[in-house]
């Protein structure tokens, strides 16, 4: 009798241990954020780095991710097409916008989908050239020219000013990145170690310029080679500048939105685990998920192969790639 009882218990244990894992509860599925990545820069291969981050977030956060690209008329990714970005309709119900664009001249109705999102009070994350996300120069676009400088300053904390120079792009580290001492306990910096970036340092603070609003620097960059130093202009453009910060933006909704921004973003920067952790942690924080950031930072192992082309203008991006193939 005792033997039969033990066999029965063993059968029950085996049944439950071998049973398929239960699917996520409806509540868990509802908690999965929708993150829309808007790419479109002809220099830094955002069409490669942002899908890489999206894949990690799908794995680690269970996020629904959408990536919009600059496309040509046949649907092929063309970062040089400054007049188009796909998937902008997806921003209507997005929980987070991640922007990495440069000098776009989008039609007014496309630009409005981005700016309407910003005014909604939902969080934003921006990379590098989003300090100059738009560039309108034609008289017929005069109503959009506030997007050139005023808009990124209000939303992200700064506009395009200058940088310390790019020397042999992608063939050497040009910025030493360190943590701001009094921000060491900030969850965005969990697992982030000092590193040297391929990104040449952007000037955003110092001289006649300062970060706007309640911007709070998290990381500082020190230029390892500077054309401003060579020209004797360090009183205007010092060798040390913030490279990552948080702020809030209150738009038409009246609801303060969390904003995370970094001026880093060279395609080779993302080969650094600390850079990926910075980006992922910043996204978690923007979503209000800082409590879910592990002490060592979000797991940043690649979820898909990442072998980006180097930075640079012209035809240096991967040709003939369609979004569906990523």
Mapping DSSP to helix (H, G, I), strand (E, B) and coil, where does residue 31 land? helix
H helix or E strand, kind and range, residue 7: helix 2-18
Q: What was the pLDDT predicted at 112?
A: 98
Question: Which positions of the chain have pLDDT values less than 50?
Answer: 1-28, 326
Q: What was the pLDDT predicted at 101?
A: 98
Phi, psi of 57 (to 5 degrees): -70, -30
Q: What was the pLDDT predicted at 168?
A: 83
CA distance 34 to 145: 30
Q: How far apart are the first and last CA of the chain?
A: 60
Q: What was the pLDDT predicted at 30?
A: 59
CB count within 10 Å of CB 150 equals 11
Residue 201 in contact with residue 176, Cβ under 8 Å? no
Q: What was the pLDDT predicted at 20?
A: 36
Q: What was the pLDDT predicted at 271?
A: 98
Q: What was the pLDDT predicted at 31?
A: 85
Tell me the C-alpha to C-alpha distance, in Å, between residue 268 and each of 160, 175, 214, 215: 22, 13, 30, 26
- Which residues neighbour 183 within 8 Å (Cβ) at sequence distance 6 or greater? 189, 216, 217, 218
Q: What was the pLDDT predicted at 325?
A: 53
**Domains of the chain listed by start with CATH number:** 33-161+242-306 (3.40.50)
Q: What was the pLDDT predicted at 22?
A: 38
Q: What was the pLDDT predicted at 5?
A: 38
Q: What was the pLDDT predicted at 16?
A: 35
Task: Say what the pTM is.
Answer: 0.90
Closest CA to 128 of 153, 150, 99: 99
Residue 85 in contact with residue 106, Cβ under 8 Å? yes
């Amino acid at each position: 009798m005792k033997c039969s009882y033990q066999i029965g218990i063993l059968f029950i244990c085996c049944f439950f241990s071998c049973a398929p894992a239960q699917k996520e509860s409806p509540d868990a599925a509802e908690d999965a954020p929708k993150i829309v990545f808007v790419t479109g820069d002809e220099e830094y291969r955002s069409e490669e780095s942002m899908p890489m981050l999206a894949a990690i977030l799908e794995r680690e956060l269970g996020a629904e991710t959408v990536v919009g690209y600059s496309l040509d008329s046949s649907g092929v990714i063309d970062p040089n097409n400054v007049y188009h970005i796909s998937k902008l309709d997806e921003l209507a119900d997005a929980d987070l916008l991640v922007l990495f664009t440069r000098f776009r001249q989008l039609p007014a109705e496309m630009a409005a989908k981005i700016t309407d999102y910003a005014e909604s009070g939902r969080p934003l994350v921006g990379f590098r050239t989003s300090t100059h996300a738009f560039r309108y120069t034609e008289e017929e676009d005069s109503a959009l020219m506030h997007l050139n400088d005023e808009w990124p300053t209000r939303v992200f904390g700064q506009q395009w000013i200058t940088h310390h120079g790019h020397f042999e792009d992608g063939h050497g580290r040009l910025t030493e990145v360190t943590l701001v001492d009094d921000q060491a306990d900030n969850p965005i910096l969990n697992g982030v170690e000092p590193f040297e970036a391929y990104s040449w340092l952007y000037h955003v603070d110092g001289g006649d310029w300062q970060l706007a609003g309640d911007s709070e620097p998290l990381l500082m960059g020190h230029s390892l080679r500077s054309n401003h130093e060579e020209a004797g202009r360090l009183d205007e453009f010092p060798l040390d500048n913030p490279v990552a910060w948080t702020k809030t933006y209150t738009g038409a909704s009246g609801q303060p939105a969390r904003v995370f921004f970094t001026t880093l973003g060279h395609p080779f920067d993302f080969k650094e685990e600390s850079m990926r952790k910075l980006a992922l942690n910043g996204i978690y924080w923007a979503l209000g998920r800082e409590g879910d950031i592990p002490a060592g930072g979000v797991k940043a192992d690649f979820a898909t192969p990442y072998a980006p082309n180097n930075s640079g203008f012209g035809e240096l991006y991967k040709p003939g790639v369609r979004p569906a193939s990523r």
